[in-house]
């Protein structure tokens, strides 16, 4: 079933009202890639009546009150992406397109959507006030004081700026359920994991972060705050945190625990794999095409690229679904009348971390003073592609499946680090799971910038290119690598930029598919470097802040990459045909 979005649907379900109404900045897709849909289905499965209002008009009550007022609480999210990232490019230009809006025109999601939607609810439901819970990526990564690129300032926690009642961060299903139970039974919410709330007094059991007043004008204290915040993201060893704002305290409880069984339950909920008819009627929602028949095998990532927020959102521990649960989802897909035989993606934040774990992390939590794969892979991390190889073999064995691609990102350093199964995995990947191009994300090639990015060094890339060529040759296929790079990352000075340009010119046979200018999104290490213009050890680093120069940096890479494209392509076609590989 679809979660109701209109009064008409409520009466068809014989529901006399709703316990919870979820408000989202994305159009409602009934699929496990839409966090709002997951939360709604999870709560419904536990016996709650839930409705969804997507992309409401913020200037009228017609959308927000369409389903009435909930009995228990409102849940608010910007959608799958922070609304400022969704609405503006890294060069601060308004984005025209939005793949999560019907018709693709970016005109439905307000800036700072969480704040806008909370204001909207407060304005039009004054006479029947219910608690407002905020969550999703925008709230999660703005949960304590954070640097905000778009206003070039340190902002308060979004819980204070929105004036919502509580904030859920990270993976939300279990915490939202516990919140619903507490509100229903009129119990305290203050011990729910994954929750932030405001308190008059400083909790006695919390580690105190430097106050907002202090961090907003003192970069050294901001760095200290960020490090403590970042270290406390593993449910096993995270401390409760608090931060003072005037005469109140923001309290952040430790993250929620998740297990494989939890993920099995969530991903085996009944999803329609389609846009809700109310939103479908408004136009095509492009994002659906890539995720409609895709499968999430795990959550979390121990890669810790410094520009990525996943460690502060989902955590460093990889939680993998059971094979049984994944194959059940495959079988559900096979039953879908629109399925044409192609699974677009079998993966997670990093596709080839499925099944990987560290016994020390499992027992004591992720190390606070050490990274799992940087600068090299930690000896305790059990990198092993065996489970993923077996899973993919089983997926391929279904006769109705023509192709099952891996479209999520891969960490090539992990393939190289797995001496037993890495090459077997790569051979299988090249033979069965690449759709002509394998997209990889070296992000840079200059080792000084790669270090600031927390990415593997350049030799790993060169080695992987060699291995991929061998694997694709063995598979007898014409397929090649495409690359994602970031221009103007903190630390990328003229020399580092020139090294990247040279590498593109010399080594790459095809244009880099994607060159993006670095966006300082909230709560990442790279954003800390951007803001402070220092690395984690307080050493001064070069940071490009001029929009004009950032645009020029991107342009210069694109120009090199695209120089003489026809000749280059013709030469490569010839090379590929003679060598039968990239
Ligand atoms: S022991 Fe190594 S792999 Fe395990 S959590 Fe610590 S750094 Fe990560």
Q: Output the 3-class SS for 93-124.
A: CECCECCCCHHHECCCCCCCHHHHHHHHHHHH
317 Cα–ligand 1 center, Å: 10
pLDDT of residue 503: 85
Edge to edge, the sheet with strand 132-134 lists 50-54, 20-24, 73-77, 132-134, 166-168, 195-199, 248-252, 241-245, 207-209
pLDDT of residue 576: 31
3-state helix, strand, coil in the chain (%, to 5): 40, 15, 45
Q: How far apart are CA 230 and CA 297, in angstroms?
A: 25
Going 449 to 452 to 457 to 462, the CA torsion angle's sign is: negative
Could you tell me if the CB of 366 is within 6 A of ligand 1? yes
Could you tell me if the CB of 381 is within 6 A of ligand 1? yes
Q: Is the separation of the CB atoms in 310 and 349 below 8 Å?
A: yes
pLDDT of residue 566: 39
Mutating to test ligand 1, I would choose from 358, 364, 376 the residue with most ligand atoms within 8 A of its C-beta, which is 358
Name the DSSP letter for residue 379.
T
Q: Which residues have a Cβ under 8 Å from the Cβ of 481 and sit 6 or more positions away?
A: 437, 438, 439, 440, 465, 468, 510, 582
Q: How far apart are CA 493 and CA 495, in angstroms?
A: 6
User: How do residues 412-424 score in pLDDT, each as one tens digit?
Assistant: 999 999 999 999 9
Question: HSE of 538 in the Cβ direction (CA atoms, 13 Å)?
Answer: 7
User: How do residues 341-360 score in pLDDT, each as one tens digit?
Assistant: 999 999 999 999 999 999 99
Q: Which residues have a Cβ under 8 Å from the Cβ of 152 and sit 6 or more positions away?
A: none
Q: Whose CA is nearest to atom 5 of ligand 1?
A: 366
Q: How far apart are CA 404 and CA 434, in angstroms?
A: 9
Could you tell me if the CB of 360 is within 6 A of ligand 1? yes
Tell me the sheet residues that pair with 280. Answer: none
371 Cα–ligand 1 center, Å: 6
Q: How far apart are CA 352 and CA 355, in angstroms?
A: 9
- Rounded to 10°, the helix 260-267/173-184 angle is 80
Q: How far apart are CA 52 and CA 64, in angstroms?
A: 10
Q: Which residue has the tokens 């064995």?
A: 397
Could you tell me if the CB of 8 is within 6 A of ligand 1? no
Please give the number of the atom of ligand 1 that sits closest to the Cα of 365: 5
Q: Is the separation of the CB atoms in 91 and 547 below 8 Å?
A: yes
Pairing status of strand 403-404 against strand 73-77: unpaired
Q: Is the separation of the CB atoms in 264 and 322 below 8 Å?
A: yes
* Distances from the Cα of 112 to the Cα of 22, 58, 117, 171, angstroms: 17, 12, 9, 21
- Rounded to 10°, the helix 494-507/547-562 angle is 20
Q: How far apart are CA 123 and CA 137, in angstroms?
A: 24
Pairing status of strand 73-77 against strand 132-134: parallel
152 Rama sector, left if φ>0, alpha if ψ -120 to 50, beta otherwise: left
Q: Phi and psi for 171 in degrees, rounded to 5?
A: -75, 125
User: How do residues 427-461 score in pLDDT, each as one tens digit?
Assistant: 999 999 998 889 899 999 999 999 999 999 999 99
Query: Three-state DSSP class for 223?
Result: helix
Please give the number of the atom of ligand 1 that sits closest to the Cα of 381: 3
380 Cα–ligand 1 center, Å: 6
359 Cα–ligand 1 center, Å: 8
Residues of the chain with pLDDT under 50: 564-582
Could you tell me if the CB of 376 is within 6 A of ligand 1? no
Q: How far apart are CA 281 and CA 283, in angstroms?
A: 6
289 exposed, middle or buried (CB, 10 Å; 0-12, 13-18, 19+)?
exposed
Query: Three-state DSSP class for 166?
Result: strand
Q: For residue 284, what are its two tokens?
A: 């095509």
Q: Give the DSSP H/E element, type plus range, for residue 571.
A: helix 565-579
Pairing status of strand 403-404 against strand 342-343: parallel
Please give the number of the atom of ligand 1 that sits closest to the Cα of 367: 6
Q: How far apart are CA 170 and CA 344, in angstroms?
A: 26
372 Cα–ligand 1 center, Å: 5
Could you tell me if the CB of 367 is within 6 A of ligand 1? yes
Please give the number of the atom of ligand 1 that sits closest to the Cα of 361: 5
* End-to-end CA separation in angstroms for the chain: 46
141 Cα–ligand 1 center, Å: 24
373 Cα–ligand 1 center, Å: 8
pLDDT of residue 63: 97
Q: Is the separation of the CB atoms in 148 and 154 below 8 Å?
A: yes
pLDDT of residue 436: 87
Could you tell me if the CB of 373 is within 6 A of ligand 1? no
- Rounded to 10°, the helix 494-507/458-474 angle is 20
Q: How far apart are CA 305 and CA 185, in angstroms?
A: 42
Tell me the sheet residues that pair with 88. Answer: 94
């Amino acid at each position: 079933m679809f979660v109701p979005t209109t009064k008409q649907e409520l009466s068809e379900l014989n529901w006399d009202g709703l316990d919870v109404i979820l408000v989202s900045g994305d159009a409602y897709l009934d699929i496990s890639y839409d966090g709002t849909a997951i939360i709604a289905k999870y709560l419904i499965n536990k016996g709650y009546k839930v409705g969804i209002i997507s992309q409401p008009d913020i200037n009228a009550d017609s959308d927000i009150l369409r389903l009435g007022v909930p009995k228990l609480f409102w849940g608010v999210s910007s959608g799958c992406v922070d609304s400022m990232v969704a609405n503006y490019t890294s060069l601060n230009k308004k984005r025209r397109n939005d793949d999560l809006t019907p018709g693709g025109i970016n005109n439905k999601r307000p800036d700072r959507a969480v704040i806008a939607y909370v204001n909207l609810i407060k304005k039009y439901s004054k006479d029947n006030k219910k608690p407002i819970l905020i969550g999703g990526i925008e709230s999660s990564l703005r949960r304590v004081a954070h640097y905000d690129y778009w206003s070039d300032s340190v902002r308060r926690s979004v819980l204070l700026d929105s004036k919502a009642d509580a904030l859920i961060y990270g993976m939300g299903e279990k915490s939202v359920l516990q919140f619903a139970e507490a509100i229903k039974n009129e119990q305290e919410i203050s011990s729910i994991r994954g929750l932030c709330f405001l308190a008059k007094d400083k909790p006695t059991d919390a580690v105190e972060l430097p106050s907002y007043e202090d961090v907003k004008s003192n970069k050294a204290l901001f760095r200290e705050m960020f490090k403590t915040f970042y270290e406390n993201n593993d449910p096993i060893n995270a401390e409760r945190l608090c931060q003072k704002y005037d005469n109140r305290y923001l309290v952040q409880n430790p993250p929620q625990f998740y297990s494989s069984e939890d993920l099995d339950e969530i991903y085996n909920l009944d999803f329609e794999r389609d846009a809700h008819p109310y939103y479908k009627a408004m136009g095509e929602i492009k994002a659906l095409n890539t995720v409609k028949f895709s499968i999430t095998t795990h959550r979390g990532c121990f890669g810790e690229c410094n520009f990525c927020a996943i460690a502060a959102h989902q955590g460093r521990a990889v939680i993998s679904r059971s094979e049984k649960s994944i194959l059940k989802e495959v079988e559900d897909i096979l039953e879908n009348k629109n399925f044409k035989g192609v699974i677009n993606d079998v993966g997670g934040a990093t596709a080839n971390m499925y099944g990987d774990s560290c016994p020390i992390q499992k027992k004591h939590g992720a190390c606070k003073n050490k990274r799992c794969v940087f600068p090299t892979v930690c000896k305790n991390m059990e990198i092993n592609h065996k489970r993923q190889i077996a899973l993919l073999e089983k997926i391929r064995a279904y006769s109705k499946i023509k192709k099952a691609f891996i479209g999520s990102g891969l960490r090539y350093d992990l393939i190289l680090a797995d001496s037993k199964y890495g090459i077997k995995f790569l051979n299988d990947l090249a033979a069965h799971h690449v759709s002509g191009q394998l997209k990889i994300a070296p992000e840079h090639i200059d080792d000084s910038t790669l270090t600031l990015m927390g990415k593997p060094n350049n030799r790993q890339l060169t080695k992987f290119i060699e291995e991929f060529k061998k694997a694709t040759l063995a598979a007898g296929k014409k397929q090649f690598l495409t690359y994602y790079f970031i221009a103007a990352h903190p630390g990328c000075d003229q020399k580092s930029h020139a090294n990247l340009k040279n590498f593109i010119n010399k080594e790459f046979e095809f244009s880099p598919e994607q060159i993006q200018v670095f966006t300082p999104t909230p709560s990442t290490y790279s954003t800390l470097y951007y803001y402070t213009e220092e690395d984690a050890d307080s050493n001064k680093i070069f940071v490009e802040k001029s929009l004009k120069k950032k645009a020029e940096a991107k342009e210069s890479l694109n120009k090199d990459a695209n120089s003489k494209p026809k000749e280059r392509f013709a030469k490569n076609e010839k090379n590929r045909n003679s060598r039968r590989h990239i």
